Structure formats: C-alpha cells, structure tokens
Amino acid sequence: MTKTRDKSALHRPIGIGSRAIHAGKGPYDNALATGPTVTPLHMGSMFEFDTVKDYMDCITGGSPYPMYTRGTSSNPTIRLLQSRLAAIYEAESALVTGSGMGAISTAFFQFLQPGDHVLFNRAFYMTSNLMSQTIEPKMGVRWDMVAGVDVEDFEALVSDRTKLIYLEIFSNPQLDVIDLEGITQMAHDRGIMVWVDDTVATPVNLRTFRYGVDVVTCSLTKYLSGHGDSVGGAIIGSSKLVNTIRLGCYAKVGTAISPFNAWLTLQGLKTLPLRVAQHNKNAQALAEYLEDHPKVEWVRYPGLKSHPQHERACTMMSGFGGMIGFALNGGDQAATIMADNMRFLGIGTSFGQPETLCETGLMIFYDHSFEERALHGVPDGFVRLSVGLEDTDDLIADMAQALDQVPEDLHGVREGMPPRRVKGTFRPRSVDLE
Ligand SMILES: Cc1ncc(COP(=O)(O)O)c(C=O)c1O
C-alpha cells in the first residue's frame, strides 16, 4: 500500500485551502535516495488510506500499516520504539504507553478479574496506591505486599486465587533484591504469572527475561529515555501476551504515548548503556563514601557488601544501578538540613536523568504515618539519592559540604525502625492523593 494517488489530478485546479492541506511532498517521500539517521518524528494522529479495502484490511488486522495513534495500529515513530524496546529486552514484542503507571494499570485491567489475588514485594507506594484506591475497591481484586525477598516468603502467602506475582527490582526506594529465579519457578509451578518492574535496575544491568518472567512493565520516563524530558511506559513480553493487551484493553483504556515523547525516548535509548555505566559508577562511589561517614547510620546499595542481598545482586546483575537509600543518625531533621544545603545536587522526585536528585523519606511518604514509613523500610532520617551523570568527585564534594552543615547533636527518633529481616505481609493504608 504505497501512496500512488496524485492529489493534483482533480480535473480542475484545486483551491488554496485544499493546496494548503494537500500540496507539496513530505520530507521522507520515495524520491529521497538516502534516509535520515535520526528517526523521523511522525506527529500524525491519523493516517490516510488509498482505498476502502486498504482501510478494511487495516482494521481487521490483515495489514501492517498505521491508522490511528491511540489505536492498535499506532503510529510509525511509536512502532519503531516498540520494536527497538523488544530488541533491547530480547523479547518478542513491546507495547508503549503514555507513562509507567499507564503500562501497569493497562496490564492490570487486562488480566485481573474480580476475586483474583495479587502478591507484591515491598516496593513503590504508587503501585500500592493504585491497588488500594482503584483496583481493589473498583474491581474487587485482593492483594498483599510481601515484606520478605525469598521464595519461602512468597510461597507462604500464595493461595489458589493468586493470579499474579508482581515484583519490583531493585525495589524503589528500599533497594531490595528479590529472588527472581526462585519466585518465578515457584509461581510457574502453580500456574501463577510473574511480572517484573525493572525500572530501577534497567535492562542494561539485569536481563530480566532470562529468569523466565512473563511480563516486564517499566517506566520509560527514567533511565530509558534518560534526559528528564519525556514521560512514557512499556509492557514487554511474548507476542501472544502483548497482543492480548494491544487488541484488548490498550486502545480502550487509551494510554497511548505522544509520538514526540516516543521520539525523545528513541533518541535517549541510543546512549542507554553509556549512561547506565556512569550512573552505576557514580552511585557505587557515593555509596562507599556515605557508608564511611560518621553522620550516616546505614546505607542501602546493592553494590555494597553490607547490603543483605549483595551476593544475590552480584550473581544477577552486571551493575547495581543509580539509586541509593541511606539514613542519617540525626533523623528527618538532619535529612532536611542536608538537602537544603546541597548546592550542586538537587531536591526532586523521579530518577534516571543526568541530574542527581535527592528526596527524603519525609518527602516520599509525606502522607504516611511514621510507623507506615518504617514498615516500608523508610524510617526516620531516610534519604533516597537518584545519582546522575555528573563527575563523581563533584558529587562527593557537594555531599560532604552538605553533611558538614548537619549539627552533630541531632538524634532522630529510634522507634519505628524496621527490623533487619521482615516477614509476612502488610497492607499499606489507602492514601488520598488529591
Ligand atoms: C519503579 C517504578 N515503576 C513505575 C513508575 C511509574 O512511572 P511513570 O512516572 O512513568 O508513570 C515509577 C515512578 O516513579 C517507578 O519508580
């Protein structure tokens, strides 16, 4: 289906209004002898057909051409991103969405039914908010968050209603490293699906599909696009599974990405391995620096020997990522003073962009009680550092001078500290976000 119609052949001169719409040729017409190295950005939300038959072939799935950006046929720039992501992940197929949360909720809507049960690892509280505020009350899906990281912790809590196990690795912001292989095997023996959110680990550090997982959902907003300039998400897996979502909920829920954000992500992806290597290097150096600092109570970074799952991380990962969690002896007050005194490092949410950003536990869990924060592994004095791409020495120098400003005599609150090894489940409170 190449475009062959000559729009000027209307048997009479066409008006200026029509010319303004139809005249001229696009920059990527067939006459070009060479192609651009940068992917063309197709902003078109709708694509025209030559014939009714072409249209019908497209709508019934018999033709590979784009038709509508929100629809199953998508848009050429977005489709290129989808195939590139599938290749990066060594997977058969990918579907791109308007945000990471869009990917997670589209996949949940597709596969979950009333009465199903889901197990999560202790992680990102946006997902628990999605479950507690939307999926559970509106769809009647039960869920539990597993505090442990080993196969026995999950095995003890599966039931015959458990439809899927959803695992975030590394968990944000606790940086737990779950036993992906063991949990996947146990789940598959019971016919339970395994989904992984590898946004924090990235496909550079972790080859998630080598562990047999069924689906990856991730945020493109972070390391994959990498420049803090676009929002997006992806669902990646077998063609059968991805097509089930594409032809099922995807177009109805309406979570298409903007072509411009897809284009920015394609540009960002080109440097992903280089950027991740620098994030890994900077975070390792900062984590080691913080671990030796007298005002720091503990540091959580999978690349440190002190991390409880360090050995597991070494066997699974080729790098330990750009996120660090640590706690200051002086509690939240100390964390606030440190953050307010940073010059080079910024205060802000999100991660995976060139700029180093810090968010304290008080900021992340601003709407949770102290005890709930502790249950999430985010006690008094907690700081999440999303380490960027700056020169390592500059990051350490700024952190050093900011910590110098923290008074020695602050002591924080010791109650509510999480035990080193947590077991069982917990149900984070439903939090009203608005
Ligand atoms: C691990 C993880 N997954 C998914 C998301 C959601 O991504 P987005 O902000 O693109 O919706 C986030 C956001 O912070 C995240 O940290």
The pLDDT score that the predictor gives to residue 32 is: 57
| Å from CA of 101 to ligand 1 middle | 6
- The ligand 1 atom at the shortest distance from the C-alpha of residue 104 is 4
Please name the residue whose Cα sits nearest to atom 14 of ligand 1.
350
Q: Which of 99, 122, 124 to mutate to test the pocket of ligand 1 (most atoms within 8 A of CB)?
A: 124
d(CA 130, CA 127) in angstroms, rounded, equals: 5
| Å from CA of 202 to ligand 1 middle | 12
Q: Is the pLDDT of residue 431 over 50?
A: no
Q: 273-404, what's its fold? A: Aspartate Aminotransferase, domain 1 (3.90.1150)
| Å from CA of 174 to ligand 1 middle | 14
Q: Which of 97, 99, 101 to mutate to test the pocket of ligand 1 (most atoms within 8 A of CB)?
A: 101
Q: Is the pLDDT of residue 426 over 90?
A: no
| Å from CA of 416 to ligand 1 middle | 27
At residue 24 the predicted structure's pLDDT band, cuts being 50, 70 and 90, is low
Per-residue pLDDT of 149-189, as tens digits, reads: 999 999 999 999 999 999 999 999 999 999 999 999 999 99
As for ligand 1, residues whose beta carbon falls within 6 Å of it are: 99-101, 124, 126, 168, 172, 197, 199-200, 219, 221, 231, 233, 350
Query: What is the mean pLDDT of the segment spanning 28-50?
Result: 77
Q: Is the pLDDT of residue 433 over 60?
A: no
The pLDDT score that the predictor gives to residue 183 is: 98
Per-residue pLDDT of 108-159, as tens digits, reads: 999 999 999 999 998 866 777 788 888 888 999 999 888 889 999 999 999 9
Query: What is the mean pLDDT of the segment spanning 210-215?
Result: 96
The pLDDT score that the predictor gives to residue 19 is: 76
Please name the residue whose Cα sits nearest to atom 1 of ligand 1.
199
- The residue behind tokens 């719409």 is 21
| Å from CA of 295 to ligand 1 middle | 30
DSSP state, residue 127: H
- Please provide the average confidence, as pLDDT, over all residues in the chain: 88
| Å from CA of 98 to ligand 1 middle | 12
Per-residue pLDDT of 294-311, as tens digits, reads: 999 999 999 999 999 999
The pLDDT score that the predictor gives to residue 7 is: 56
| Å from CA of 100 to ligand 1 middle | 5
| Å from CA of 321 to ligand 1 middle | 15
Q: Is the pLDDT of residue 432 over 70?
A: no
Please name the residue whose Cα sits nearest to atom 6 of ligand 1.
100
- The ligand 1 atom at the shortest distance from the C-alpha of residue 103 is 11
Please name the residue whose Cα sits nearest to atom 7 of ligand 1.
100
The pLDDT score that the predictor gives to residue 25 is: 54
If DSSP states are collapsed to H, E and C, what string results for the chain? CCCCCCCCCCCCCCCHHHHHHHCCCCCCCCCCCCCCCCCCCCCCCECCCCCHHHHHHHHCCCCCCCCECCCCCCCHHHHHHHHHHHHHHCCCEEEEECCHHHHHHHHHHHHCCCCCEEEEECCCHHHHHHHHHHHHHHHCCEEEEECCCCHHHHHCCCCCCEEEEEEECCCCCCCCCCCHHHHHHHHHHCCCEEEEECCCCHHHHCCHHHHCCCEEEEECCCCCCCCCCCCCEEEEECHHHHHHHHHHHHHHHCCCCCHHHHHHHHHHHCCHHHHHHHHHHHHHHHHHHHHCCCCEEEEECCCCCCCCCHHHHHHHCCCCCCEEEEEECCHHHHHHHHHHHCCCCEECCCCCCCCCEEEEHHHHCCCCCHHHHHHCCCCCCEEEEECCCCCHHHHHHHHHHHHHCCCCCCCCCCCCCCCCCCCCEECCCCCCCC
- The ligand 1 atom at the shortest distance from the C-alpha of residue 123 is 1
| Å from CA of 332 to ligand 1 middle | 24
Please name the residue whose Cα sits nearest to atom 2 of ligand 1.
199
Architecture of domain 76-270: 3-Layer(aba) Sandwich (3.40)
At residue 422 the predicted structure's pLDDT band, cuts being 50, 70 and 90, is very low
Q: Which residues belong to CATH 3.40.640.10 in the chain?
A: 76-270
Please name the residue whose Cα sits nearest to atom 8 of ligand 1.
100
Please say whether the dihedral angle defined by the alpha carbons of residues 37, 39, 44 and 48, taken in this order, is positive or negative: positive
- The residue behind tokens 């671990």 is 291
| Å from CA of 348 to ligand 1 middle | 14
Q: Is the pLDDT of residue 409 over 80?
A: yes
- The residue behind tokens 């496909």 is 203
d(CA 109, CA 111) in angstroms, rounded, equals: 6
Query: What is the mean pLDDT of the segment spanning 71-95?
Result: 91
The pLDDT score that the predictor gives to residue 34 is: 66
| Å from CA of 234 to ligand 1 middle | 11
Closest CA to 121 of 429, 433, 431, 426: 426
Per-residue pLDDT of 341-391, as tens digits, reads: 999 899 999 999 999 999 999 898 887 777 777 778 888 999 999 999 999
Closest CA to 213 of 352, 142, 316, 302: 316
Per-residue pLDDT of 257-272, as tens digits, reads: 999 999 999 999 999 9
Q: Which residues belong to CATH 3.90.1150.10 in the chain?
A: 273-404
Yes or no: say if 392 and 282 are a contact pair by the CB < 8 Å rule: yes
